[in-house]
Amino acid sequence: MRKNTPPERVRVSILGASGYSGQELLSRLTGHPGAEIVHAFAQASAGTRVDDLIPSLKGRTELVLEPFSIESAAQCDAAFVALPSGEALEAVPRLLEKDVTVIDLGGDFRLKDASVYERYYGRRHPAPELLERAVYGLTEWNRRAIAGADLIANPGCYPTSVLLPLLPLLKEAIIDAESISVSSMSGVSGAGRSATLELAFAEVNESVRAYKVGVHQHLPEMSAYCRAFSGVPTTLNFVAHLLPITRGIYSTMFARLKREHDVSALAATFERYYGNEPFVRLLDGRVPEIKHVRNTNRVDIGFTVDLATQQVTVLAAIDNLVKGASGQAIQNFNVRYGFSESEGLA
């Protein structure tokens, strides 16, 4: 793969800078030696100083949040779009027309089929011609395409935690692609920063509940990219749960082995795919925990095999705001512009 030659400085803007993912981008890109944040857009918080929004940035930035302007955004080389799905649909085509590279953290450009998008997101896609142009930003599996992309569709948080553990097993035909069940749990920050009653502390504390059962918008994304990267048509049974914590995702995947593999054979497979990956940590005989990946761009993967039933259980933990959103977006930014992949993410 030809590596891009990194420029001295890439001028960037952030759309949705006051949200949880936007704040992660602000914090990490402020310390990125190859990125210069020129504009931070946030409609409702316009006029607020960034270091008032994020006090840890006092003395490190003079930026003030401002309303979105295509003229201002066009002054930049790249734009991180950290808007809820649906809100990016107007901005992204305009940014591309101005030759601005877009890294979209929402779900509007992940699916290739506009009819599937309409079914799961509940709206017509106004720019279906861009769906084929978009490059899926699962960095560990799509670097070559990311390096030359002008529209990068950052994966969803749940799909990141599911695809990375499953893909080596599907690619190597180790598991039955029709037998996969996934139970995933997420902290409440995954729903964004807007206040709603159902996400209030008193509503979520001391409870766990499933949501969007059978209709979650990440389900077709996971199925599509299981097939795209492994070459194997895949059926997933997926259920998401809300945890009474702020951040983190924990996914447990169950599947049937197609042929006999013990733990050491699975470990060798994962090592072959991820042994040199800076943000994938393979746990030898241990189970992942959210607290060990919090505030990092890492995914921790553990697994076990029941040889009597030929069942494999794979477990993964990520921080939904970092590896599941802003951190992976910066990882893709680094690949796109030729920086060290861990720049801004240490």
Q: Are 221 and 107 in contact (CB under 8 A)?
A: yes
- CA-based Rg of the chain, rounded to a whole angstrom? 20
- Alpha-carbon distance of 80 to 68, in angstroms, equals 13
Specify whether 226 is catalytic: no
DSSP H helical ranges for the chain? 20-30, 50-53, 70-73, 88-97, 114-121, 139-147, 157-171, 201-204, 218-230, 263-274, 327-337
3-state secondary structure of 309: coil
In terms of Cα–Cα distance, which of 74, 213, 229, 211 is closest to 155? Answer: 229
In the 8-state DSSP scheme, what is residue 323? Answer: I
258 Cβ contact list (under 8 Å, min separation 6)? 173, 174, 175, 176
Q: Per the residue annotation, which of 26, 37, 76, 157 is the catalytic one?
A: 157
* φ/ψ bin of 16: left (φ > 0), alpha (ψ from -120 to 50), beta (otherwise): left
Identify the residue whose tokens are 């008032």. 52
So which residues are the catalytic ones? 157
